[in-house]
Chain A
Amino acid sequence: MPETSLPQACIRIREAVAELSRGDSLVTPPEVLRAHLEACESCSRFWLDMRQISLSLDDFLITAPSELYPNVRRSLPRRSKTAGVRLVLAFALLTLAMALMAWSWKTFIAPSTDMPPVTPGGAPGDSTDKADKLASNTPPAGTCTTKQAE
């Protein structure tokens, strides 16, 4: 029987079923709905089919291709639980390097406190040598600047 030629009662009942399934308030009294579904073979078959289709759709799954995850993994932004540890390590290394530089400076480059003051007219090269060394902040290779200063 085409939908257009369904009796009005059947059309109303099918609308009521729709309202129920959407959680809308029911215009048709439930007992009328139930009575019609029990009496009308066409509507009850329709209802059962629709319920089966809805339930099958709810469970319907297509298996995804297996190779999808590697692509996702490649695109993930880096988020590592060792990131914090690495940061602390980097900071510790930096501190160590700075301490080493400070120690080298104090040990090899900086003038000792008992060094005599540089006098004007002193031996040429004395003060400029030291200024250069101070500016360059690098100990000359293989030399002991403390001895030089003495």
Chain B
Amino acid sequence: MSGHRRLDSLAALTDAELVDRARQGEQAAFESLFHRHQDRVYTIALGMLGNPEDSKDVVQETFLRAYRRLASLNGEQGVLAYLCKTASNASIDLLRKRKGARSVSIDDFDESLLAAWPGQRPDQAGDQLAMRRALETALASLSEEHRIVVVMHHIAGLPVDEIAAELRLPVGTVKSRLGRGREALRRKLPMFGDKEDA
């Protein structure tokens, strides 16, 4: 079976099945896991670091760590969660290495006018591609402290308390940054109205 056809047949398997095969030494199964999740891992790294070269390193490091931990990976729902957390941690490590451990504390009051209303898809979906591009630009223009928590929470899917632990910040500060980050995104995204609020 050619490499591509082999990967195609593996693409139908669940994460758990791929992990199981990779554990038994089937490298194509691991490669399939890689292709399945590389975009998410790359997005987390790029979102947090803002640098494509460093982000590639984070992708590599994340998957290498996953490979070494194959024996203990929980395939069913654990693979993506593990990859996201590892990518976040690797990005934080890189940021700390870049500028030395920096503990930033903001004493700004928490306006926290956040909203991630549960359920319901947006009804005014609009042009998804335009939204994606605008979001990419807006995200890149956020301050680093806001961008990091927004990416960790929304793209890596980490809960606020876990982010606080990883960043060694009080939970309230993370909540505040998350709110302010989303608030800043709203101001920067052209498709959102009520600019006089800003």
Contacts and interface: CB of A to CB of B under 8 A. Distances in A.
Given A21-B118, A81-B26, A58 B154 contact: yes
A8 B43 CA distance: 38
Interface residues of A, number: 46
B198 A21 contact: no
Interface string B156-198: 0100100000000000000100010011011001001110111
B124 interface: yes
Interface centre among A72, A73, A80 (most CB of B within 10 A): A72
Given A21-B116, A69-B34, A56 B60 contact: no
A68 B57 CA distance: 9
Contacts of B193: 45, 49
Q: Contact size class for B?
A: 35 or more
Interface stretch (B9-17, B88-96, B107-115): B107-115
Interface string A51-64: 11111111011111
A15 B185 CA distance: 18
B34 A72 contact: yes
B25 A82 contact: yes
Contacts of B24: 81
Given A2-B197, A62-B46, A52 B122 contact: yes
B113 A18 contact: yes
A99 interface: no
Given A46-B197, A60-B155, 5 more contacts: A14-B112, A20-B118, A49-B193, A50-B182, A55-B116
Interface of A: 1-3, 6, 11, 14-15, 17-18, 20-22, 42, 45-58, 60-65, 68-69, 71-73, 75-77, 79-83
